[in-house]
């Protein structure tokens, strides 16, 4: 999408290119060097080449006294600025003197680029997945999002599926606005649930950010899956939003979308610094993030409203579904089956029944299969 | 109802007759004797007459190591087995040697028998009471149920009544299924509330087991009455079900029925052992169970939706309903009367008002009489 | 309104006039003197002039052993009595002997007098304010009510206003019944919210007494304003009622009225004694009561349902509404603006949004102005 294109209330900005940047001392030595870490330059910095005493550069330097070894991640999207970011410890060691600030960048008409992957299913009803591709060098927030989403796409493709999946890889905010503005009617008509996948790579807790009223199918699925995976998960309200649920759940857009996270943006100390790196994001962390998303999609795919075919409790014993001698584990499985049957009254889908009877919905999937085979339950039109 | 009759998803089984049973040692001495306690034989045991070493009998012996002096109550309804039940302390004392197992029983076509008592009232709307008659030698679970129910029937017959009462004495599960299968349309059409009466004879707390969504008139009545009688009563959810509410509240049957208990089946240590006896069940315990059921029926009979006839607070003083000098108890009675009037707006029945204003509904009955006499309230059509 | 007029279920009583009253000892010295404090006479006392030994007067004397220095406030509205009120400490000091009780009063046909002030607004929809004028010598309960209400009237007159204000100064209970009986249809048709203003002069907490189901606009406004002014405010239920909300919220009247108080009648030690005086009621206390009422009216006047005009988050930056560099306070103001926009979806009025996003509604007023000027929000028909 070319720069200058209006998207809702916004306009796609010029594109930024950066080739080199440094702050050099009087000997020409690079004390800050973009080649060592691209966080050293404020995002969207305008070009500069000036020699000045250190004190006159101070307003262009950004560091974090509370995290003296971290390079902060700073951008200036909608106002022209230039600057350098560095660890506070390094900043304090800089000696007075003349320095040269050099940034070889340009801001010019270009384009906003995004990726889109459609995986057709048995129906035209869609599951919408979005993740973002705009935070340079950030591991949890944000490379974890596209990584997990790519693996999720592979899993989706390996499965028979009821729903069509629409997966987008976009820059945050402006990318989401762009995508929504081009597909709003289609999305509003077809999306039954969606997940914004962000910050899914560390090993700390799970969390989700609800939709505006936390009342969509996506909210219900996420709450069930996260509570089942991790009873101490954090349910953030829409007031804690900060990613693309801001656009997806805005008035008039109103998509049934929630954000799925491990440590949510803004809620962990390494956030938006050079410490959000591959010490923080691990294979285990990513696997958990993947598991969370996959469980949500599986719950959506399997979710149905069923009705028991008999009056009164069915006679499970004559079908070999009831143990003739009770034992501890079988008793629990039979209890789940009987509780499931008790609430299979055509009013509740599987996830709602799982919530009522207090088991993970995936414990119900094999029960549904066995009861269907036995002819004891049927799908309702509902 | 003859054996072999289909009832919903089930078939009425053959009838079991037991005449004698024992385990005898090599001298012919009965070490376990059905004549001393009928719990000594596993229910529905098939006939047997074998002589074997003790160790080969072990799989046919049932005892409870945690309750070494209790004979467990064991049945095998839907699989042919035989066995003996005995206190674990006795089992440990059995000496090795040859024993003779003898059970003189038969399983043959017979019938399922139940009792039914209809007490007609002013309307065809029905209150449904059920209790069960199938646990041999069990006092709280279950002779307390039919005993209390019989006394409740006598009380019902002594009272003028709005509702018709349908009272059934049935074997648990198969009896309930049988009765429901024969009267389903009638019950669904006429029953406004029902109570399954079980385990109502000990002196411990009160409890009830709610219907599937705990949203019926019976649930509301039971919750109000039990909370008023005993603030620490236990409100079990339908997930804790285990008696005939399992059938009455199953999908498609959907009767407005809850179970009323003192110590609920499964929730007290003597449950399903020889310790559930007349040490546990007492006249006081039964009287409390009777009181609980009677209070529920009385609340149903008296329950109405009323509307105050004046605008603003009525002038109670000119009718002698307001003390000219406040005193402690009269103040409280006047407060109840005024609160009752404040919520007599045609939206709430008596039980709901009692819940709102925080008094037992039976405190409201005399107030209703006095206000009706004074012409201050009228019944609504609702 | 003349004595004898029926008002709903009541009749306006005779009017009471009191000229003098005393209890004199054998020397003629006035040991209790109405001229020193009008609380010394039981309200509505019939005339008397008798000489008797002290002990025969005891049933006509009222004092409070727990508050020995307080003169109780006692009335006998609907039964003919006479009596004197005095501090218990003084009562204990009275010497035996002959005393003369003298009360020069009369009960005769007269009238009930009330004040009414109508302040027309842009629409015929009304805000109803009532306060009462019947408790002699009581400062918090009750001169604070008319005083604050009079100042509120001045403020209303100084403001442009959407609503018409109907303000009444009436005797409690019989005055409220009188006023309601004469204006019921008009009030039911036009009043959108109302406040009964009582006990608004001390410096202790704020409180309100909800309507019958606490579900009116007035309840919602009062809950929001009081919680925002004072998180520890007391929300009394309708069961704690005791002032004219008793009549305004009675079945069939059903006005959307709540009572606003600081220390509520009956809930502070000085209540209905001579200690409810200008030690207790202070300028600061009255100013807080005034502030509470004014905030409620302002919230009603400003309250609207708005809708954001764009899809997705609006671009605040291009309108100068978003800081180019985040700073602590501006961040919070921007957060409030963005949260406000997120819930400006045509479903919520301002007070509901303020509740959702957790800010006082008055923080939203300037935001609404700025967003309207920027063309970002519009009023809905709703």
Q: Tell me if residue C316 falls in helix, strand or coil.
A: coil
ipTM for this prediction: 0.93
The model carries a pTM of: 0.94
Mean pLDDT of chain B: 95
Reported residue count of chain C is: 382
Q: Are B242 and B270 in contact, with CB atoms under 8 Å apart?
A: no
Q: Do A212 and C342 touch (CB under 8 A)?
A: yes
Confidence of residue A382 (pLDDT cuts 50, 70, 90): low
On chain C, the residues whose CB falls within 8 A of the CB of B342 are 212, 238, 241, 246, 249-251
| B63-110 pLDDT, tens digit each | 999 999 999 999 887 788 999 999 999 999 999 999 999 999 999 999
**Average pLDDT for residues A105-125, to the nearest whole number?**
97
Range in A299-313, B278-292, B300-314, C65-79 the model is least confident about? C65-79
Structure tokens at C267: 């809930």
Q: What angle do CA B287, B291, B292 make, to 5 degrees?
A: 120
CA dist B144 and B147 (Å) reads 5
| B168-195 pLDDT, tens digit each | 999 999 999 999 999 999 999 999 999 9
Name the residue in chain B with its Cα closest to that of A339: B239
- The closest of C295, C218, C294 to C254, measured between CA atoms, is C218
Name the residue in chain A with its Cα closest to that of B213: A343
**Average pLDDT for residues A100-111, to the nearest whole number?**
96
Q: Tell me if residue A337 falls in helix, strand or coil.
A: helix
Predicted local distance difference test score (pLDDT) of residue C136:
82
Name the residue in chain C with its Cα closest to that of B335: C239
Residue C130 pLDDT > 60: yes
- Report the run of H or E that residue A287 belongs to, with start and end: helix A283-302
- Which chain C residues have any C-beta within 8 angstroms of a chain B C-beta? 7-11, 76, 78-79, 173, 176-177, 180-181, 184, 212, 238-239, 241, 246-247, 249-254
CA dist C335 and A164 (Å) reads 36
Residue C299 pLDDT > 70: yes
Q: Tell me if residue A196 falls in helix, strand or coil.
A: strand
Chain A touching partners, 3 or more CB pairs below 8 A: B, C
Q: Which residues face C103 on adjacent strands?
A: C21, C48
Predicted local distance difference test score (pLDDT) of residue C238:
98
Predicted local distance difference test score (pLDDT) of residue B330:
61
Reported residue count of chain B is: 382
Neighbours of C55 (CB within 10 A): 9
**Average pLDDT for residues C138-148, to the nearest whole number?**
96
- Report the run of H or E that residue B366 belongs to, with start and end: helix B361-373
Q: Which residues face C260 on adjacent strands?
A: C197, C208
On chain B, the residues whose CB falls within 8 A of the CB of A319 are none
**Average pLDDT for residues C247-251, to the nearest whole number?**
97
Residue A325 pLDDT > 70: no
Structure tokens at B131: 């209790």
CA dist B351 and C13 (Å) reads 37
Predicted local distance difference test score (pLDDT) of residue C329:
55
Residue A237 pLDDT > 90: yes
- Report the run of H or E that residue C347 belongs to, with start and end: strand C345-349
- Could you identify the residue written with the tokens 């479903």? C347
Q: Which residues contact A171 (CB under 8 A, 6 or more apart)?
A: A112, A114, A132, A133, A134
Q: Tell me if residue A21 falls in helix, strand or coil.
A: strand
Q: What angle do CA A15, A16, A22 make, to 5 degrees?
A: 175
Q: Tell me if residue B10 falls in helix, strand or coil.
A: strand
Q: Do C246 and B313 touch (CB under 8 A)?
A: yes
**Largest pairwise CA distance in chain C:** 91
Predicted local distance difference test score (pLDDT) of residue B290:
98
Q: Do B250 and A311 touch (CB under 8 A)?
A: yes
**Partner-chain residue, chosen from B10, B176, B251, that has the shortest CB–CB distance to A344:** B251
């Amino acid at each position: 999408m070319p720069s200058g294109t209006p998207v809702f209330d916004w306009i796609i900005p010029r594109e930024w290119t950066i080739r080199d940047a440094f702050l050099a001392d009087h000997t020409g030595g690079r004390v800050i060097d973009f080649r060592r870490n691209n966080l050293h330059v404020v995002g969207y910095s305008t070009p500069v080449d000036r020699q000045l005493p250190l004190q006159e550069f101070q307003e262009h330097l950004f560091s974090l006294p509370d995290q003296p070894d971290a390079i902060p991640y700073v951008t200036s999207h909608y106002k022209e600025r230039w600057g350098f970011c560095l660890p506070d410890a390094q900043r304090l060691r800089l000696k007075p003197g003349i320095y040269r600030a050099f940034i070889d960048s340009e801001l010019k008409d270009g384009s906003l680029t995004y990726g889109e992957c459609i995986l057709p299913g048995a129906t035209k009803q869609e599951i919408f997945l979005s993740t973002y591709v705009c935070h340079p060098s950030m591991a949890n927030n944000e490379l974890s999002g596209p990584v997990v989403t790519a693996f999720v796409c592979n899993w989706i493709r390996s499965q028979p599926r009821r729903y069509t999946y629409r997966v987008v890889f976009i820059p945050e905010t402006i990318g989401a606005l762009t995508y929504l503005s081009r597909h709003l009617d289609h999305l509003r008509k077809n999306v039954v649930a969606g997940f914004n996948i962000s910050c899914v790579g560390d090993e700390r807790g799970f969390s989700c950010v609800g939709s505006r009223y936390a009342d969509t199918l996506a909210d219900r699925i996420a709450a069930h899956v996260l509570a089942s995976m991790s009873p101490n998960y954090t349910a953030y309200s829409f007031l804690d939003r900060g990613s693309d649920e801001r656009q997806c759940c805005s008035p008039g857009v109103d998509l049934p979308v929630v954000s799925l996270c491990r440590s949510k943006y803004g809620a962990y100390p390494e956030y938006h610094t050079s410490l959000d790196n591959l010490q923080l994001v691990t294979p285990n962390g990513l696997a958990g993030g993947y598991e969370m998303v996959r469980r949500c999609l599986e719950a959506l795919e399997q979710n149905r409203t069923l009705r028991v075919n008999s009056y009164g409790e069915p006679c499970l014993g004559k079908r070999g579904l009831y143990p003739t001698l009770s034992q501890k584990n079988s008793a629990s499985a039979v209890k789940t089956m009987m509780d499931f049957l008790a609430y299979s009254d055509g009013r509740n889908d599987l996830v709602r029944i799982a919530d009522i009877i207090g088991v993970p919905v995936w414990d119900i999937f094999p029960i549904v299969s066995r009861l269907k085979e036995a002819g004891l339950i049927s799908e309702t039109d509902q």
